[in-house]
Structure 1
Amino acid sequence: MRIQPRASASVVFSLLSLVVLGACGEDGTLPLDTPELTPFQPAQVQATTALAPVSGFADQSGGGIFANASRELVRLRLDGSRGAMSPHPGNTAEAGAINGVFRLGPHSALVEAQNGLFLAESGWLIEPPWREALGPGVVTTAQSADGAVWLAHARGLFRLQEGTLAELKVDGASLTGITSLAAAPSPENVPGVWYLRENTLGVAVALSTTNYRVLTTAAPLKEGETLKSLAGIGPAVGTAGELWALTSNGLLRRTRDGWRRVELAQQPDQLVGAGRFLWARAGSALLLHDADANTWSVASDATTGDFQILALDESGCLWVQRGGQSLALSRVLVPRLQGLFQGMRIVEDGLVVRAVMPPGPAPASVAFALGNTEIPTEAPDYSLGGLEADGSHRAYSFATLEAGRYVLSVVARYEDGSEARRSVPFDFAPLQSGPLSWDKDIRPIHESRCRNCHNSASAARSLDSYELWRANAPIITAAVRDQRMPADGPMDPELINRIQRWASSGARP
């Protein structure tokens, strides 16, 4: 099927006509897991400002973007203090009251405000070029393995990729009524995006940039049981991602081997997932699942009375709002990584990565772990590659690694014998092809994705020439690699790789 473009408010919408394979169900008794809940005392960080009980975005580097009690947009740091957040000088409208904040990328968020949709990135609130074409009505978002962001909206299901917003349609009809999204492997064990609509599961799988296959499938429910929400667990080394479904009776878990039923001592009524963690609310209790350890635990004395889950990040840190308090809850406070995010694809030989310690006492020692190698690092910089003579962070070389998936961990050890570990899976895919040129390979990317904001007439940094690209190559590669730019949505991973290859092979004209 080919893309059918349609113009709307100077923004091109691409309508994706998709193939429906049909429904399939599973009969028989499901394998049953009955895990024990181990109590734990959660570590808590209190936000310095009260947050509204609406959806927020938790950044895996710590902190996040939320609406405060006055429905103003706030950016929080790892210790709960407020960071900078201002409207971009190029905006033409004020946001107004914030209705909700949703994940857009590893470090960026989609903000639904009284006056439309905005993007929040690096302390700026930015108007996307397609904001007039899609107004308020966002239900939830999910990011698929190809870097695309999926938006469940009151008007249908939309895909944001390469700065273009496209609606996913089946037989010409919009997929309205979606209540939940999750990125997880499809029944064919290829990357997919699952959605819940009218108690029915559907999954979209990319066949090409313009074609998708949609499979509707009946979940293995008991008589009278209904689906309530979905959550996804990301992949790790040697382990694929998983789909989880919250039902009126409990939990269903879909792995590579099919469906399983999970029965807990307490019945969950809300489920969220990020990275390798799930949190479930069960009345006034909070339950935590660690997929790597394959354990379930229950937080002791974490909540009293009514509370609202706001967001979860890939480290397992859960943000909740309880009365006049807003808290970040973790099994243990862990270090965070800057320069590397979960699921990132590294194509360069060298990468600057540093660790940021959690609030509280300073550790006695900090080390990185990669495979069977432990790499010590020193305070206060905690740089994986150490420091250059001028005090700047040195890039760590991955040249000894074969292509594949790895886990980089940062381990903080304390005087009392305890330790805190943050582990981040990533893909190493070194590219051996020859150097690229700015004129042939990079200029088209600049003109299609960067020029609208980064020109001599805008408030943003100008990148209108080869000389400016070469001078700013380290800043540009870091921004696109971390998916902080472009501001109008995620960039295709292949284009990110191309920019990195050009910069690392000499930034030729």
Structure 2
Amino acid sequence: MARFLPPSLMLCAALLSGACGDGAPPGSDPAKPAPFKATQVPSSQGLAQAQGFADQSGGGIFATPTGGAVRLRLDGTKAALSAHPQNKATLGSVSATFRLGPHSALVETDSGLFLADKGWLIEPLWQEVLGTGIIATAQTADGAAWLAHPTGLYQMQGGTLASLKLSGQPLTGITTMTAAPAEDGLPGLWFARDGKLNVVVASAPGVYQVRGSDAPLSGGETLVSLAGLSAGTGTAGEVWLLTSTRVLRRNTEGWSTVDLPSRPQQLLGAGRFLWARAGEQLYTYDADAKVWGVAEGLPSGTPTLLAVDEAGSAWVDVNGQALSVSKGAVPRVTGLHQGMLVVEDGLALQATLPPGTAPKSVAFQVDAEPEFAATGPVYSLGGLEADESTLKPYSLATLAPGAHTLAVVSRFEDGTEARRAVSFKYQPLTSTPGFARDIRPIHEARCAKCHTTSPGRPLNTYDLWKSNAQLITAAVRDLRMPADGPLDPQGIALIQRWAASGALP
């Protein structure tokens, strides 16, 4: 297939004049970090002090000091990760990895960019278009992945890579970027450029507006990095700024200055958790509990934050030792990720426990309903089928459409507990799609290039789609497929509805 760059995305406005420093002076938000003994999981592999990707189900994908790429599990051991045999470009030396979705990453090498998925490093069809030098990536609430590059700002959606331009010119000079709501609450992409803070919002499908920000920066104060926190159930997302002098935060109440014991040198966010590194101290903030903590018991030396995940863990390097750090032995949830759209009325869900002391009990809770006890070693919310090996789906039929939270909590003999809460949106079936009318157009537009004969498994007929319906649903729902970028939310929901309603022809 030819490799090309589609036309630029539309913009309906130039940069607005609402500039940094024009807003009211921010209030003070004093942080009072409480010390906690950090739970640590050392890695079996040394990691480079470079941008990494942390998977919310545990582990992640990182660069090694020798220029390799490594995929780590929850317990710090190495998992399979290899260049796909159908790649035309050689992998080259890895410099960094960047988040694209809940379970997928973009790996940058000196020979180009590769998508990491299910143990494979796959050469994307647009690999030759975009060279090395990725500055940052982010994923907005509409499912689009954004890439900041020295040549401009790019959106990856619908299988295409498009350049966002302003008055016909590329948006070059971006130094940092994150996804968080704009000041008016619309889904936003925040970025710093030429010393100013801006936010991109969609004013209509395919039409974007680049706005100035009312961030209250003082004269001479410069932007260092941005971090975004996603929305929870009943709570909005927020954007955080690390500047040359302080930390600024914007939530639904406006801007405030966060007073930490010392100014951080790093600031990273994922889900509802923020991590900050100041000197030899690691601070963490839980936006749902509104609680700050400071890690104790880490190896001596200055830690470097490599990546953070939605379960509240951070991957760090301290004097050449790579380890995962968290406030407790947080259980993970498989089958559901933060912000996921669910249309099936049943999900097979289970808790995965980190290494270490086994808990006394594990329980699930949906919203404020009574807890469901789960038994090991599978810890399935719905239990097991009659064969005692297949996870039984848990019924969501009693839930009202809208936002919900699933929590899993581990309780230990010493009276402590560790909790993981995952926000999701439930939109039950309202229609019955058919393959010929609804699914085949998606296959032809997004899947046929890889799933007719190779490199992926053949999916070019109705029977092949039907027999692989569960695998396909899981891949698109987790935003792992298509390999050249996730489907839009409507496409994901359509495939889920088709599979859940009987996979009709």
**TM tier, shorter chain?**
over 0.9
- Aligned-partner Cα distance in 1 for 2:25–2:419: 38
Q: Structure 1 residue 377 and structure 2 residue 374: aligned?
A: yes
Instruction: After superposing the two structures, state which structure 1 stretch, 411-420 or 27-36, moved more.
Output: 27-36
> Among 66, 79, 83, which residue is 2:79 paired with?
83
Equivalent-residue separation in structure 2 for 1:288 and 1:104 (angstroms): 23
Segment drifting more, 457-466 vs 334-343: 457-466
Amino acid aligned to 1:418: T
The answer to whether residue 350 in structure 2 is matched with residue 364 in structure 1 is no
| Structure 2, unpaired ranges of 5+ | none
The letter of the residue matching 1:20 is: A
Residue in 2 aligned with 1:499? Answer: 495
Which residue number corresponds to residue 452 of structure 1?
Answer: 449
Match of 2:211 in 1: 215
2-structure distance, mates of 1:104, 1:28: 35
Equivalent residues in 2 for 1:303-452, closer than 5 Å: 303-371=299-367, 372-390=369-387, 391-433=389-431, 435-452=432-449
Partner residue of 1:24 out of 18, 27, 50 = 18
In percent, how many aligned pairs have the same letter? 53
Gaps of 5+ in 1: 1-7
**Structure 2 counterpart of 1:60:** 56
- Measured against aligned partners, the alpha-carbon deviations of 1:144-164 in whole angstroms (never above 9, x if no partner) come to 001111101011110011110
1:144 corresponds to which residue? 140
Structure 1 position 14 matched with structure 2 position 12: no
State the shift of 1:303 in Å. Answer: 4.7
- In structure 1, the residue matched to 2:159 is 163
Distance in 2 of aligned mates of 1:196 and 1:398: 42
Runs (4+) off by over 3 Å: 25-28
CA distance in 2, matches of 1:326, 1:312: 13
Equivalent in the alignment of 2:196 = 200
Who is 1:173 aligned against? 169
Q: How does 1:48-127 map to 2 (within 5 A)?
A: 48-127=44-123
- Please list the CA deviations of residues 248-269 of structure 1 after superposition, one character each: whole Å capped at 9, or x if unmatched: 1211111122211111121112
The residue identity in structure 1 corresponding to 2:467 is A
Contact 1:99 1:112 in 2 (8 A): yes
Q: CA deviation at 1:36?
A: 1.4
User: Are the counterparts in 2 of residues 75 and 85 from structure 1 also a CA contact under 8 Å?
Assistant: yes
Residues paired across the two proteins, number? 500
**For 2:111 and 2:41, how far apart are their aligned partners in 1?**
32
Q: C-alpha distance in 2, partners of 1:207/1:340?
A: 30
Q: Secondary structure of 1:293's match?
A: coil
TM-score, normalised on structure 1? 0.96
Distance 1:250 1:12 in 2: 40
**What is the CA RMSD across the aligned residues, in angstroms?**
1.4
Deviations 1:7-45 (A, max 9, x none): x96323230242125121434432111121211111111
Partner Cα separation in structure 2 for residue 218 and residue 416 of structure 1: 48
Give 2:289's aligned residue. 293
Q: How far did 1:139 drift?
A: 0.6
Match of 1:37 among 29, 33, 37: 33
The whole-number CA distance in structure 2 between the counterparts of 1:180 and 1:395 is 41
Query: What amino acid does structure 2 have at the position aligned with 1:22?
Result: L
| Residue type at the aligned position of 1:11 | F
Q: Distance in 2 between matches of 1:223 and 1:196?
A: 16
Q: What is the CA–CA distance in structure 2 between the aligned matches of 1:417 and 1:48, rounded to whole Å? A: 31
Aligned residue for 1:472? 468
Q: Which amino acid aligns with 1:12?
A: L
Tell me which amino acid in the other structure corresponds to 1:393. L
1:97-125 CA distance string (max 9 Å, x none): 00110001100000111110100001000
| Cα shift at 1:179 | 1.2
Distance 1:351 1:289 in 2: 30
- Tell me if the contact between 2:241 and 2:249 (Cα under 8 Å) persists in the aligned partners: yes
Answer yes or no: is the 8 Å Cα contact 1:17–1:172 preserved in 2. Answer: no
**Post-superposition offset of 1:207:** 2.2
Following superposition, the deviation at residue 466 of structure 1 comes to 0.4
- Native 8 Å contact 2:37 2:295 kept in 1: yes
- The aligned counterpart of 1:3 is none
Q: Secondary structure at the match of 1:137?
A: coil
Between the aligned partners of 2:213 and 2:478, the Cα distance in structure 1 is 35
Distance 2:145 2:494 in 1: 21
| SS across alignment from 2:457 | coil
Cα distance, 1:302 vs. partner? 2.2
Q: Any conservation in 2 of the 1:366–1:382 contact (CA below 8 Å)?
A: yes
Contact 1:200 1:219 in 2 (8 A): no
Aligned equivalents of 1:378 and 1:52: distance in 2? 38
Preserved contact between residue 17 and residue 171 of structure 1 (Cα < 8 Å): no
Question: 1-side partners of 2:31 and 2:304: how far apart?
Answer: 25
For residue 4 of structure 1, what is the aligned residue in structure 2? Answer: none
Q: Is the 8 A contact 1:58 1:64 kept in 2?
A: yes
Decide which of 223, 247, 250 is 1:251's aligned counterpart: 247
Work out the CA distance in 1 between the residues paired with 2:272 and 2:450.
36
